[in-house]
C-alpha cells in the first residue's frame, strides 16, 4: 500500500514537471527528432546528470544497490530502432502520452490505443524475441564504468561536461 502511495505521489510530481517543461507536446518531441527544438533533450539530460550524481552518492554510501539493465546488442539495437521509428510517427513516448491526454491533447488516444495493441503484439512475439534476438551480443548488466575499467565518478563527470557543452550549443543556436 505504501509503495502504491509513493508511486502516485512521485507520478503527480513528475507529471507536473513534464507539463511545466512543455515536454508533453507532440511539437517538442517531434521537434527534437527534426533537430529544431531540443527542449526534451535539455530536460532529459539535466534529469540524468542530477539523477546519476544522486543515485551513485546513495550507492557509495551503501544506502541503495542497483545493477544496470542487461545489455543485449540485438535487443537494444533492433528494439531501440523500432521504438524510434514509431516515436516519430506518434510524437509521444509511453510516459508522456498519458500526460498529454491530461493536458487536453485528446488526439493522443490513438497513439495510446496503438501502444496497447503493441503490448499485445509483443506478448505474442515474446518467445521468438527471447530465443532469436536476446542472444545476439548478450553481455549482461554491464555499466560504462565497468566497460572502460574506470571509476563511475569519471563517467558522471564526463557526462556532465558533455551535457554542458551540448546545452551551450543548443542555447547559442536557439534550439
Partner 1 sequence: MKSRAWMKPYICGGLAGLLLVASVAIAGQFFGTSTTFPRMVTWLTDSVGIDLSHLAFFQASGGSLTGAAFPDWQLLFVIGIALGAFLSSIATKTFQLEPLPPMWAKRFGNRLGLRIVHSVIGGILVMVGARMAGGCPSGHGVSGVSQLGVSSFLALVMFFLGGIFMARFLYGGRSS
Subset of 92-121 contacting partner 1 (CB under 8 A): 93-95, 98-107, 110-121
Q: Residue 175's CB: how many other CB atoms inside 10 A? A: 17
| Site mask for partner 1 (CB under 8 A), range 18-57, x = bound | xxxxxxxxxx--xxxxxxx--xx-xxxxxxxxxxxxxx--
CB 161 → partner 1: shortest distance, Å?
A: 15
Closer to partner 1 by CB, 102 or 161: give it: 102
Residue pair 74/136 in contact by the 8 Å Cβ criterion: yes
Q: Residue 97's CB: how many other CB atoms inside 10 A? A: 20
Subset of 56-85 contacting partner 1 (CB under 8 A): 58, 63-64, 66-73, 75-85
CB 113 → partner 1: shortest distance, Å?
A: 7
Residue pair 136/72 in contact by the 8 Å Cβ criterion: yes
- CA distance to 45, 53, 75, 145, per residue, from 162 (Å): 10, 15, 26, 16
Subset of 136-175 contacting partner 1 (CB under 8 A): 139, 141-145, 147, 152, 155-156, 167, 171
Amino acid at each position: 500500500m505504501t509503495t502504491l502511495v509513493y508511486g502516485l505521489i512521485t507520478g503527480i510530481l513528475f507529471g507536473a514537471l513534464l507539463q511545466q517543461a512543455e515536454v508533453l507536446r507532440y511539437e517538442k518531441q517531434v521537434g527534437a527528432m527534426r533537430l529544431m527544438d531540443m527542449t526534451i533533450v535539455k530536460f532529459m539530460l539535466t534529469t540524468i546528470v542530477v539523477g546519476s550524481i544522486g543515485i551513485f552518492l546513495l550507492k557509495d554510501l551503501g544506502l541503495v544497490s542497483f545493477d544496470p539493465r542487461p545489455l543485449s546488442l540485438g535487443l537494444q539495437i533492433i528494439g531501440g530502432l523500432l521504438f524510434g521509428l514509431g516515436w516519430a510517427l506518434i510524437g509521444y513516448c509511453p510516459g508522456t502520452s498519458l500526460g498529454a491526454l491530461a493536458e487536453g491533447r485528446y488526439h493522443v488516444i490513438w497513439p495510446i490505443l496503438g501502444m496497447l495493441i503493441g503490448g499485445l503484439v509483443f506478448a505474442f512475439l515474446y518467445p521468438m524475441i527471447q530465443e532469436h534476438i536476446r542472444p545476439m551480443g548478450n553481455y549482461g548488466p554491464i555499466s560504462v564504468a565497468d566497460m572502460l575499467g574506470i571509476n563511475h565518478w569519471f563517467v558522471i563527470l564526463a557526462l556532465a561536461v558533455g551535457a554542458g557543452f551540448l546545452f551551450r550549443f543548443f542555447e547559442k543556436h536557439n534550439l
